[in-house]
Every structure is written in C-alpha cells, then in structure tokens.
Structure 1
Amino acid sequence: MHAGDVLRVGATGLRTRPLRAWLSALGIAIGIAAMISVVGISSSSRAELDRQLAALGTNLLTVQPGTSMLSGEEGVLPFEATAMVDRIAPVYTVAATGAVPDTNVYRSDHIPEGRSGGMNVLAAELDLLETVGGDLAHGAWLNAATARYPAVVLGASAAEQLGISSVGEGVEVYVGGRWFTVVGILEPVALAPELDLAVLVGWEAAAAYLGFDGHPTTVYARAEEAYVEEVASVLAGTANPEAPDEVEVSRPSDALAAKNAVDTAFTGMLLGLGGVALLVGGVGVANTMVISVLERRSEIGLRRSLGATKGQIRVQFLAESLLLSALGGVGGVLLGTAVTAVFAAVREWPAVVPYWASAGGVAATLVIGAVAGLYPAVRASRLSPTEALTAQ
C-alpha cells in the first residue's frame, strides 16, 4: 500500500471509535505535557537566572572573617581591609559593612528588649548599594550628610517586619535606645540576601551613636570579569595580610548557581514522574489496540478473504497505533507549551521550551505507539480468514 492508503486505513479505526481514541490519546498527552512543562518551566527558570546574573553580574566577591585554626575564635578584619582590597588593580568598586553587636531595632520604644525579630544593625559605606547591585524601593540611599546623622536604610525584609512600607516625615525606628529616621527602603538584594533583614546606618553615625568599633565584617568587591578568579585568589592575603587563613572569600553568584543545580535535580525527579505517566498512556494505547483487534475480527477476515496479506494487516494496525500516539504526542506538546507559557508569564520569566524537548516528546510517543501496537498488529495478522469471518 502507498503511504496515503496506510494513513487512510489506519485512521479508519480512530474515526469509528472517536471517544475511545480520544481517551487513549489523552493518556499519552498527559504524560508528554507533564514532561514538556517540567522541562519548559525548568528551562525558563534557568533563563531567568541567566538574565538575572547578566544584570547583577557574576563578578561580585565577598570577604568575611573566618575562624582561627589555632584559637577557634572568629577572626577580625583590620580597619584598613577595604582600602587594601581597593588597591587590587582589577577591582573597580569596593564597599564594606560592619556589624554593630548587641543593638536591636524596634518600631516603638515600648517593645520589650529581646524581641528584635532577627534583624541586624550594620554600619554601611556609601558605595555599598552600587557594589552589591541593589536598588531602592522607596526613598534615598545614604549620602555624605545622612551617613553622619541618625538615619537608616531598611532592607526589604526588615521594612516588612517593622511594618514600614514608605518613607517620609516622622517615619522612625528605635535603634540601640535612640530614634533614627528612615530615609530609604531597599528592594531584595539577590547577591547579598543578608542585607534584606538588615538596618543600615552610616559608618560615622554607627560609631558616634551606637558604639561601632570600625572593624568591617563583610567587604564586597567588584572585579573585572576576566580577572575574577585571580582576584579571589589574593583577596584573603590582601584583606588580612597577618592572618590570611582567618579570612573567608566567597562568590555570591555561586549560591544562585547551586540553587540552579538543586532545581535541576528536582527537575530530574519530576521528569521521572512524567515518564511514568507516559508509560501509563502507552499501556492505555496497547489496551485500546488489543480491544480493537478483538472487535474487528470480522473486518480482518473480510480483508484477508479479499486478498490482503498478513503484512498489510500488520501495517494497518501498527499505523493506527502510531496515529493514536502521534495525536497524543502533538496534543501533549501543545498543552505542555501552553502550561509553560502561562507559568512563565505569571512569574514574569522568559518562556523557554527547548526544541529537543518538543521533538523528543513526539519521538517518544511514536516509539511507545510502535511498541504498544506491535503485539495487536501481529495478532491481527495471524488470524485466518475463516476464523475471523466466523468470529462473533
């Protein structure tokens, strides 16, 4: 038979039993849609991460005091750590924060001591916002004037916890037994999430009003992309030449990459579940084809008596199984793509469905259709014309 005849004969069974064919194709479509949507959502998430990293940069490095191997106590960065890091040639911007210990933050001076909500008070240098790639949600960042007076900028989570959604006249917080005016609120900082729950005070104001000792506890440095690894290798010795082993150097973008690796592992698990759903759909197709052979024995006998060969009977039922699976595969790809597009739009991500996933999904359904239809096709071809015509 020609290809057109094979398709026409193979589609006959689908047209005569549309509900059964639709339900069988639906089983395949659900499995493929699950796999496509998992791959698509994962790819869209990675695309968003790549876009975010491209905007934030992967060249941010942080320096923090580590633990002394001899005493077991936490190290201390020298006062000059920021200035010394700034001397590294590929470093083009650097800023530091310093923890102000034993200082709590409250919305009211009537709140009992100890209920600080986990917020940290940090002395901040003026270049901090630019260095970490942060943005303001409201108000303004610290400047040369406000950094010397009792003024604060709240991290996103700190502002939410304090119940402050905007800045303006009379908006104050109680910090270390003194009222500070809120001049700004930050957006969440992706590469420095520790700032989200922080209350940031000017370096001079922290020393004058809160007893800050002037030691930086985190130094943020931006280096030229081509020299990030080289800069990272010398940061510890530069920030604390006397005890480089007591310095920890990290790259915040690695945390996002690690998160992506976890998402990838989770995606693999979901793909396995999608594969199980696809297998169940294949069993449904096989069941449909077996029943079809049993119900159509008279048709098979009539075709055999009119001269159809065993091979033509096999091709007919195999084509029917492949068409049924292909319909489910194409429908599943379209459904999975639609789910990905809607999910990405809700999350404001770029919608990405890899071409290999769509092509692989259709190919997988054809393989399943061939496997599921092979036994029923062989069984149909082995029916003798006399046996088939007399079957009720």
Structure 2
Amino acid sequence: MINADKIRQQFPILFQEVNDEPLVYLDNAATTQKPKAVLDKLTYYYEHDNANVHRGVHTLAERATKDYEEAREKVRAFINAKETAETLFTRGTTTSLNWVAKSYGDLAVEAGDEIVISYMEHHSNIIPWQQLAERKGATLKYIEITADGFLDIESAKQQITDKTKIVSIAHVSNVLGVINPVAELAELAHSHGAVLVVDGAQAVPHMPVDVQAINADFYAFSGHKMCGPTGIGVLYGKRELLDQMEPVEFGGEMIDFVNLYDSTWKELPWKFEAGTPNIAGAIALGAAIDFLTEIGLEEIHQHEAELVAYVLPKLLEIEGLTVYGPQDPAHHTGVLAFNLDGLHPHDTATALDMEGVAVRAGHHCAQPLLKYLNVPATARASFYLYNTKADADRLIEAILATKEFFQHGSI
C-alpha cells in the first residue's frame, strides 16, 4: 500500500500556493513532477562528473560513461528487454516513434502496403505514419473504438490483413484512460507478418511493463512522464529488427570508421545515438527508475486504481458533467477527461486553476479521437503516485464551485 502523503514529501514543487490556494497537481499525463532524488542526481552530475561519454579516458569521462551505461541497464531491467543493445536513448516518445517510422518503415513498407493505427492515438503516433504512407504510397487504416471507449478488437481483426506491415498502438490512451490489449494485438499482427509498435508513454510510469511478455517489436516511452527529466526517452526494439535498420541521424559517437566517401557504424545500441547524448537526462532517468522500482510499479498501479474508484463515481454524480471513456472505475486508468455542459474546457481549466487545481484542457494531441467523439476539446485530470484522496476531493469541490460560478455568477 502506497503512502502518498509520505511520497509527496519528496517532491518540492508540490508545496506551493497557486492563486493563494495550495497546489493540487493533476496534469500528470502531460508531465510528472520530479522527486528530490532525481533533482539531486542531475545536480551531482553537473557539479562532479560533467564530461562527454564513450570517447574520453580521463576520470570524469569514465565516471560519466559508467553512469550513462548503468542507466541503460536500469532501463533494460525495468521493461525486461533481453539485452541493453535493444534499448536506445532518444529525446522522448515522439523521437522514438519517428525513428521507427523513418528507419524501419522505409525499409519494410512499399506501395500498396498497409499501416494500422487506432482512432485513440496521440499525434506522435499518427503523423509519422501519415508521412510514411505518403512517402511510400501505402494505406493508413484505423481501428475503431467501442461505444464505451475500448479498442474494438473485432475492428482490429478486420483492419489488420496480410497487406499490413506495421501496427502501432498506444498501450494506454491519454484521453480515454483505457489499457489496450497490446499482447493480443502483437499476436494478431504477427499472424499476418506485421510488426507491433507500442506507444508506452502513458503505461510505463504507471504499471509493470514487460516488452518480452507483450512480444512488442518496438516500444517507446518518455522520461518526463515517469518522474525523470525532460528531453530523454527510450526506444526498445528487438535486436533482429534494429540490426536491419539504418540510423536516422549521422555524426559523431555513432561511427566506427569514417573515410572520405563512406563510413561504417558502431554496433547496437550506439549506431543510433549520434552526437553528444543527453547524458545528464539518461543518468537522472536511471535515478527515476530506482525511485519507482523502490515504490513498486504494481503498488503504483493499485494506488491509482483506488483513486479512480474513489473519484470517478463522484464525477459521474455531477449533473451536466460528461466523463469520456469507460464509466466503470475497474476499466479506467488515472486519466479522466471530462466536460461541463455549456462551458469551454479552457474556461473550466482556468477556473480550476483559480482554486489551485492544475488540469489540462484542449485536444490533448488527439484531434482525430476528439473528432470521433464529436467534441472539440476536453478538460483532463490525471493522477499519479503522489496524489491523494484529498486531491480528488479538491478536484470535485473546484468543479462544483466552477459550475456554480458560471451558472449563478458567485462562488
């Protein structure tokens, strides 16, 4: 059982007032806050070990390289990849998915082939495939969503065919709050000779993820959504696929030999990591993994489930409020998108901010999904390991106060 009150003591940013109210931070699907252990790791690196990795033989360079590659091993263990060669450091989920679309996509997809995604994807898992389809003359197809917000498996079986080369799906929706059956989709994709790419940005921070058990061919996630710093992320890929792929970026670090008219690349994983990497970010991501592992991902998942079981029924009781996605808390992650009748979500979010409650408002980089739902935008509250039932109560109180103000002009 998580003691969220104790955990939140490790997050300095949470102890401030916003608009003269104690901050309740519920924008975790956008980015999570950072514990002191991660902040200290960043500071320590820059104050003690700041040097470039891999190419230096002096003490600082050797220490930086050791910590950087130890962080890679922490990533490998965290997602249960077979070997560190299968874990590439990137700028984040967006970069990871772009690498797959450009490198593997250009290798595997030809005119007339199919790429299959779903209506619930983040723009980062739509636009790279749109661009690939355009480059190659391929067809981009969409898996539909059931009336209660789940991925429609029957639609998936219809859309994924022997012409399909790539299936790319979010493990967890950043709007609907559903967990998609990615292992089942992997089996379905593989039965047609396709690969499965998984956008794990909303999954890895919140639940145990085993890429081998899923049998994902590629899996992408970001450090800043899991208590790590911005600008660092991970692309997991099966070795046999990464070995076939060409780097997307070229320059220092990733080379073996450079001649006047041709060059050769380092072995995995370094052939993909051109230039000076985000060394501090990778090392601090390792610290974030240590932090989350000590708490326990299953415990984090259970804590969020308890919060949703507490707050979702309260939201559903508010007259004129619509929650998108499953109405059963057992099938809903800590991501809760909602709208108040007659009120633009930006106004809702602004009013909540006046009460000290930070939520997101807009299309959440999921415009095709919102069009599918026939809404222009939503407000979104998203919970994490440091949130409490008291935070949930503050959310409900702020929504009720907002509703009262816009209906009657007073709070």
TM-score range normalised by the length of the shorter chain? under 0.3
Which has more radius of gyration?
A: 1
Taking CA–CA contacts closer than 8 Å with sequence separation of 6 or more, which of the two structures ends up with the larger relative contact order?
1
TM-score computed with the length of structure 1 as normaliser: 0.20
TM-score computed with the length of structure 2 as normaliser: 0.20
Kindly indicate which of the two structures has a greater share of residues assigned to helix: 1
